[in-house]
Structure 1
Amino acid sequence: MKNLRKEFPVLSQNTYLNTASSGLLYDSLLDYRQEHDLDFLIGGSTFRDQQEKFLNTVRKSIGFFFGCTPENTVLTPNFSLGFNTILNGLEKKKKVLLLDEDYPSINFAVANKGFEVCHAKVNSSLEQNIEEAVAKHKPSIFAFSLVQYTTGIAIDLNFLKQLKLKNPELLIIADATQFCGTKVFDFNTSGIDILGCSGYKWLLGGYGNGFMLFKENVLDQITPDTYKKAASNTDYDSSYTNLRARYECGHLDTFNFGSLQYSLQYISKIGLSVIEEQINELSIYAKTELTNLNLLENDVISRKNHSSIFNIKGDQKMYNSLKEKNIITSLRGNGIRISLHFYNTKEDVTRLVDELHRYR
């Protein structure tokens, strides 16, 4: 992994602990992006002639990487646009279960559209809280982040399988933006009906790309009858009227989606299982060190498994002090968020811990 760090120029000047905010651009992806735009530069409109054929290869790459058919893989500039499109097509009488203090792109998007809402608390008993909320409120939809963006608390994927088995009519929609690219994952065998992700964080795809994955027949089930009726009564090209067109309306940027495809191939060459092992090792090390400093909340400490996102006790002054030392983090919630990817090392964590010792 240390050899890979040379591809990420930011790492030569900074201790970068902020992938949960933005993944890094790397040398070979920059080369790809420059070649892409050179082709556009010399090709003009002829460059666009292969657009749809190319985007089909992107759908196949995403589907292969995450275990979903290309037909059920939708391209979208980001998770939020895809999620809002889903919500716009659902009946507002449906009740939606949310996690308290989840990402605003989920919770505010649901609340401002007039759905009836209920909540489950995010703490050390997260899965039990969800199960009890489903039994009590009987929601039609459960929408949530797989990893909480402030605390890093991650929902148990096996729990989601069991939840779906016990509640087959519950539509489970997951935002995986803080998850995809950190663990080996097969959507087809998961308990999730719809999974969405923006590609600019752990997938290192840069900005302006994302995707939505749908289990078989789910895309059809959530498409409004008015849309399907209108589509059946026109002779427009199917690219304007198929089930994906609600999400893929307008021209999709081959620069952005090509960047995502390139990064999926880059991650595959490293090996996602290798990346997962590296992240897990860093996460365990960081959790131990930060626990020893009494900088983590009890809800995080008591969880058996955790992501590589941690929110440590700290304020603006501490954040500024770390930034002055070129330790890049984020202010989130009531503390300072750090996040570790495969290009991080134990030395990065040690440097953070050493600075925190000095600060105290």
Structure 2
Amino acid sequence: MDNLRKGFPVLEQYTYLNTAASGLLPEKVWEFRQDHDLDFFLKASVLKEKMGDMLTGVRESIGNFFHCAPNRVALVPNFSYGFNNVLESIDKPSKVLLLENDYPSINWAVESRDFNVVFATIDENLEENIIAQIEKEQPHFFAFSLVQWINGVKINVEFLKKLKEKFPELILIADGTQYFGTEAFDFDASGIDIAVSSCYKWMNAGYGNGFILFNESVQGKISPKNVGFGSLQGKYKAHEGNFIGKFEPGHYDTLNFGSLKVAIDLIQQIGIDVISERINTLKSIARKRFASAGLLEDWTLEREDYASLFNIKGDEKLFNRLKGEGIITSLRGEGIRVSMHYFNTEKDLNRLFKALNI
């Protein structure tokens, strides 16, 4: 599968096991960016006259890839911007369920507002904990990461479908930043009401682009307030009071959002099933090796579904030694976070295993 590494020159310099921090920029995306800025340099507003058509193409590409109608896809520069706008659209006081120690951009954003906040514990019984808190606290919203940023604990989409069936009035708001781009995802069939994501990690689209997917039933349950010249510009935003337009009040950067479309095109060219199969192979190998060496928290091993990012036992000294050997990871929580994408190989893992003496 070495052909999957083509177009990522950074892999010739490093053993890159850090997609959970920052995805790589594919050569095709880089080439688009070069051509785009040259066109802007030479044409200025003549290029920008086509901005609406380009953004429509991006919106439709996202909708097609994630199975969500394009008139329910909002373009945002990143997860935090989009999520904060969603929170500002929620009447207060409302009760919100969060997961303890979830991604700070989720929990901090909720806790900084006038919401009644309750928590579910992340452990081997995560799903049971979530259901118990919903039954006890009866929250209006549940905001969570599909994949936990520190240790890769993953909430199964099938569980979310059943959760929505059991609690149909509960609004599910999911962060897909550590998930989207790793396997096929059907938003309309997921049970999730609102999904928000940045695309610089597993989507490999670079920085400055993201999206929000809305279930059709959400309109009327939240009240977005932002508005600007961009709110009414382009297809799907043609009339005053348009829902997704209130998440897109300004002028958008065609460089960054065009990069997202090229990145999605590349994923579809490779095949999301091929990507998923490759990731599953690598994460299975890594988990077994880490577990046998005692490098993972025992309770995480009781989880059947898990992502391809792991938090292994280690300190800053080990992190720096790995970096010195060209193995790129991240210090997160109380250990070292290791993550692998489809462009990684077993050779990459073997270099890590050798460096760890396992």
Q: Distance in 2 between matches of 1:132 and 1:252?
A: 42
SS of corresponding position for 1:353:
helix
SS of corresponding position for 1:117:
strand
Aligned match of 2:190: 190
Aligned match of 2:274: 274
Residues 127 and 156, structure 1, Cα contact 8 Å, conserved in 2: no
Question: Relative to structure 1, is the Cα distance of residues 281 and 224 closer, same or farther in structure 2, using a 3 angstrom cutoff?
Answer: closer
Residues 72 and 219, structure 1, Cα contact 8 Å, conserved in 2: no
SS of corresponding position for 1:217:
helix
Aligned match of 1:234: none
Q: Does 1:19 align with 2:39?
A: no
Q: Distance in 2 between matches of 1:154 and 1:309?
A: 10
Residue 54 of structure 1 deviates from its aligned partner by 1.2
Residue 240 of structure 1 deviates from its aligned partner by 7.0
Aligned match of 2:80: 80
Q: Distance in 1 between matches of 2:202 and 2:168?
A: 30
**Matches of residues 14-53 of structure 1 in structure 2 within 5 Å?**
14-53=14-53
Aligned match of 1:152: 152
Give the residue type in structure 2 aligned to 1:343. Answer: F
Q: Distance in 1 between matches of 2:240 and 2:260?
A: 24
Give the residue type in structure 2 aligned to 1:271. Answer: G
Residues 97 and 142, structure 2, Cα contact 8 Å, conserved in 1: yes
Aligned match of 1:128: 128
**Matches of residues 202-351 of structure 1 in structure 2 within 5 Å?**
202-223=202-223, 238=238, 241-351=241-351
Q: Deviations over 1:214-259 (max 9, x none)?
A: 01131443125998xxx9xxxxx95774222321111111000000
Q: Distance in 2 between matches of 1:22 and 1:239?
A: 37
Residues 78 and 208, structure 2, Cα contact 8 Å, conserved in 1: yes
With normalisation by structure 2, the TM-score equals 0.95
Residue 50 of structure 1 deviates from its aligned partner by 1.0
Q: Distance in 2 between matches of 1:150 and 1:224?
A: 31
Question: Relative to structure 1, is the Cα distance of residues 4 and 203 closer, same or farther in structure 2, using a 3 angstrom cutoff?
Answer: same
Q: Distance in 2 between matches of 1:290 and 1:11?
A: 23
Q: Distance in 1 between matches of 2:139 and 2:51?
A: 41
Aligned match of 2:113: 113
Q: Distance in 1 between matches of 2:42 and 2:219?
A: 39
**Percent same amino acid among aligned pairs?**
49
Q: Distance in 2 between matches of 1:214 and 1:225?
A: 16
Residues 176 and 196, structure 1, Cα contact 8 Å, conserved in 2: yes
Residues 240 and 249, structure 1, Cα contact 8 Å, conserved in 2: no
Q: Distance in 1 between matches of 2:156 and 2:125?
A: 11
Residues 86 and 224, structure 2, Cα contact 8 Å, conserved in 1: no
Question: Relative to structure 1, is the Cα distance of residues 178 and 239 closer, same or farther in structure 2, using a 3 angstrom cutoff?
Answer: farther
Give the residue type in structure 2 aligned to 1:290. Answer: F
Give the residue type in structure 2 aligned to 1:35. Answer: D
Moved over 4 A (4+): 224-227, 237-241
Q: Distance in 2 between matches of 1:334 and 1:203?
A: 27
Aligned match of 2:63: 63
Which consecutive residues of structure 2, in runs of 5 or more, have no partner in the other structure? Answer: 232-236
Give the residue type in structure 1 aligned to 2:324. Answer: E
Q: Deviations over 1:141-175 (max 9, x none)?
A: 00000000001000011110010001000000000
Which consecutive residues of structure 1, in runs of 5 or more, have no partner in the other structure? Answer: 232-236
Q: Deviations over 1:78-98 (max 9, x none)?
A: 011111011112112110000
Give the residue type in structure 2 aligned to 1:175. Answer: D
Question: Relative to structure 1, is the Cα distance of residues 343 and 226 closer, same or farther in structure 2, using a 3 angstrom cutoff?
Answer: closer
Residues 220 and 243, structure 1, Cα contact 8 Å, conserved in 2: no
Give the residue type in structure 1 aligned to 2:23. Answer: G
Give the residue type in structure 1 aligned to 2:327. Answer: I
SS of corresponding position for 2:2:
coil
Give the residue type in structure 1 aligned to 2:120. Answer: A
Please say which of residues 7-16 and 215-224 is displaced more in the overlay: 215-224
SS of corresponding position for 1:11:
helix
Q: Deviations over 1:33-56 (max 9, x none)?
A: 111111111211111111111101
Q: Distance in 1 between matches of 2:144 and 2:133?
A: 13
Matched residues, number: 350
Give the residue type in structure 1 aligned to 2:346. Answer: K
